[in-house]
Structure 1
């Protein structure tokens, strides 16, 4: 059973890497970047948050140990460049939805890895948030845009909710798989609702 869970988490991690890389590709395509720009945005979006997380918890960055992640990024970048050349324009919500799905996967995986290194639940939630948002922040800054996490959109809040749902479910005695499902569904529901209903947090001003 443990091996099954480990393989599932690994598969989801690779899938999340591809989804986040794709969001980087879509951003680069929107800005009409060249192939190098596409690969750079895909890479920082996909592995930026996980790299920061690993350095903070004292782990060797995951993509150095397993270069499969780099191949997934390169493959996604190549496929994404082909898709963006199709004459049909992608709907406006393609990038936000791809980002939301990657967010749900990475927050859970980030929190799970932090817990495996003996952190507290609170730290695990923080590591989940960093895993989910840091790569996108780097992507947006390279694209000269204000990162979503710094805007009034419900973005980091959704990550925090997802992390709390995951660690809270484990504390209640639920297994890893139900906890992951609850967290991902909760985060996705909140983020997608915010995207389509334009929900936002109140802003602070002097």
Structure 2
């Protein structure tokens, strides 16, 4: 299997899992069929569209290759049809989202490197590719985006993107090392959820009350 074929397959798998994540979140919000498919489409392809625009690849693959849109729409429709059989839907959404984050982070970073983006820029593009779909999904379903909460999300994507850039610098861009990078993101995200790891947040203290009447 060539690198381009493997990258395409990984991309389509990422589209499918993010579409399932978005569609599942839309089902929880009791949206209609169009709403479920639309949210699944945005969740699946939002990060890839952002990636392609950043690296100046126009039109984005989501519009240039019918397989991307077809995968997103078909997966979302399947989730809409079979969602009564999906046990513990919230857990399903979180696991699928972690898988999509991992796959899209790796493929986004690789595409940035192929476009001759410098290492630091490639890490940022990979992170944006991973979090873009989830950001769109949360905004459409009326949730505070996961990336803006205390949970380890964007940090996991950035760690995975950095691992891909490091592997590329060492000449290790075969399927096994890249799969390991994806597993790193996936595992870090799930462990963070399990152990409730979070980034620091500001501490607000009420202002002290002044003693005595205000000065005239």
What is the TM-score when the length of structure 1 is the normalising length? 0.94
Unpaired runs of at least 5, structure 1: none
Number of equivalent positions: 203
The aligned residue for residue 96 of structure 2 is 98
Q: Structure 1, residues 6-35: CA drift from partner, whole Å, max 9, x if none? A: 111111111110000000110010000001
Partner secondary structure for residue 90 of structure 2: coil
- CA separation in 2, counterparts of 1:80 and 1:92? 13
- CA separation in 2, counterparts of 1:89 and 1:174? 39
Shift of 1:196: 1.4
The aligned residue for residue 62 of structure 2 is 63
Shift of 1:73: 1.1
Unpaired runs of at least 5, structure 2: 205-216
- CA separation in 2, counterparts of 1:57 and 1:8? 20
Partner secondary structure for residue 85 of structure 1: helix
- CA separation in 1, counterparts of 2:89 and 2:128? 28
Q: CA RMSD in A?
A: 1.4
The aligned residue for residue 71 of structure 2 is 72
- CA separation in 2, counterparts of 1:144 and 1:189? 27
Equivalent of 1:191 in 189, 192, 199: 189
Please list, as runs of the form range in 1=range in 2, the aligned pairs for 1:28-67 lying within 5 A after superposition: 28-60=26-58, 61-67=60-66
Q: Which has the larger radius of gyration?
A: 2
Question: Contact (CA 8 Å) 2:24, 2:89: kept in 1 or not?
Answer: no
Shift of 1:91: 4.9
Please list, as runs of the form range in 1=range in 2, the aligned pairs for 1:32-181 lying within 5 A after superposition: 32-60=30-58, 61-86=60-85, 89-181=87-179
Which stretch shifts more, 176-185 or 16-25? Answer: 176-185
Which runs of at least 4 in structure 1 moved beyond 3 Å after TM superposition? none
Shift of 1:204: 2.0
Shift of 1:56: 1.3
Shift of 1:44: 0.6
Structure 1 residues 146 and 109: CA distance shift in structure 2, 3 A: same
